[in-house]
Structure 1
Amino acid sequence: ALPLQLPAARSISPMIVIPDISYTFEVVGSGFFPTGLVSLSLLSPGASCSSFTSDQLIAAIAASSILYVNSTLYRFSWLLGGGSVGNVRVCFKTSSTQDLGTISVVAPSVSSALPHYLTNASLLSVIQQGVPFNLSLQGSGLSSPNIFVKIVPSSHLCQGTRNLLTGAAAGGEARLTSQDQVQFPAGLQQSGQMRVCYFTRGAPSFLDVPTSSFTVVPPVTVTSVVPGFTIAGATTKVFLSGSAITSSTFTSSLFLSSSDCIVGAQPSGGSAQALVDDDGGNGRVAFASFLPSSPGTFRLCVLTSLSALPQDVGAITVLASSSLPLLAQVAPSSLLAGQATVFVLRGQALSTGLKLMVASSCSSPSSY
């Protein structure tokens, strides 16, 4: 008679797991039966499979939860909740109990976190303040539902917990990850050098993400546009004044739009033109040249290489050539009584034959 082969387990995999993530485990061995008593006990690492107490039992996997695959393979699923890390001893029981060693429970880790815009998956080292973006993460255990991420200025330490947002940049407050992405739908509300911190359940505080340094540059701010009028068919320099209009860290352009700064709605002669710095590199004044061919009022739209979203900065009215001559600007705007004043006129088709009068009302110019 052949000797009866009793079920015997040799190994279990995976040997490394992360809390709060469900895993499918495989027990490999020989002599497994589709029916019969089989169970597993998961114990604290110092416990013995032959003798343990209830407080040493982490989980018990009953026969009804163990799937027989074939005579050499069992499968079962298990999730370790609570964020605990360390080793778990695995005890396999049929007619006898076998110690399969320990499973290592390790915390999730984030090794890289860099931004990208919603319209492009390319990772960036420079983004613009106020522009929505996502952080793209790399690491292990990123499917854990308990990973929090926040963005801090580089001068700040990664500290606190998800309930203590100390040091977070404006708009970079802690939020949960979703797989390998973290959403910042309003963008960051401050500029400067930034880095990323992450926190997992059970960790003492936020931890530093090794590869996560990026720069946030100020938003384009336009406070004035000159001129406000031009003539169809005339080359026109449009000057923008404000801050961060041009920069060495990004390129910027200006285009005309007949409909809410929609790319593709440019009138003839209003396509995007590079903005040229006119402020010695400080980015406070810049201009672009246009040759609009049709009358109308058009939005002025700035587009930078840091954002796919154009920014509406004002409007310009293009008049028909029959409107010539056109006076767009007169300076100064105030006078001192009894003092000679030199006026400077700007516009289109101005000539020495024109007369300037100072009057209380242009409808009765003789009353000056």
Structure 2
Amino acid sequence: MKISGSHTVRAVDAGGGTAADFAELDVRGKAAVVGLAAGVTPDEALANATKAGAGYVIAYRKTPGYWIASVKSATIPLMIATGEDGARLAGLLGTGRTVKLKLDGTPVSPYVYNVMFPQTGAVSKNQTYPLDSSTTVRQTVRYHGNRAGRIAKDTVYRYRPWQSADIETTNEVRLGTVRTEYYNVSADTRIWHAVHPDWQANRPQWNSVRTFAEAGKLPAEDWLRQVVRPATSAQYGLSARTGDQLTSGAGRTSDVSLTVRNQEGSVTSGVLKAWVSYDDGSSWKEVKVKHGKAEIRHPKKAECVSLRVLASDAAGNRIDQTVLRAYGLK
């Protein structure tokens, strides 16, 4: 749960966050300040505060420094403070004075920085990196979803010249979001962007590996847009789009993956059939579907491919979807 907008709230000392600490304590709509007692987890303190009607929780450990904590779920905002800041706030509350906090939050950021600052040779003494129009590449990105509020998994991989693998950097992105994304200019760093429609999905949508050698503005980009248009990866030859024409470099043989989903996620289809047309849907030829892939062998003179897919499940749900001029052939 994230803070949205600006709020001024009263802080209340909630002790160690136990159920006994919240008994008879008026925290309704207020910020409960919790110095976690021994054996009390953030989940327990949050549950106790929520049950007592608190609007916010600020938790800290009674030891110096930062610490990292997570909870399984939250219906009110939980903030983590350092031991020093928590002790300072508890000290103010201990004086008996009314303490009010101004809390500001942006639940969905209108921008994100995907930056990495590589250095060659010795580590520079100056670790200040300016981010402005001369050092970044800017792009408007739209994340589409079939249902409002769904959370996707946004993944960025970064490769230096000697790297063939990278540990992913993954963040949540709310589908329906339009935001500005920035990359820093680095002529020898490769960037690969992939988006999973949810946290359970194993197969993402991805773009080609890119390198940003010059600052500037990139064309707008759409992710998970329905109907998801056909695409190919760099491994099989990139697709090329000019206006509303998509040309595939996959050659005369194509294996098209077909994934059936409903509002809740992937489903097992009882029937999955596919047809192909080379005359804009005037005539159709059924193609073999095996293990979720349509095996298509294009005739030599074919220039443009239209696709039709029919799927149904055991509950009687059914979809018959046609994409005319799905992609062209070289």
TM-score by length of 2: 0.26
Larger % of helix: which?
2
Scaled by the length of structure 1, the TM-score of the pair is 0.24
Larger radius of gyration: 1
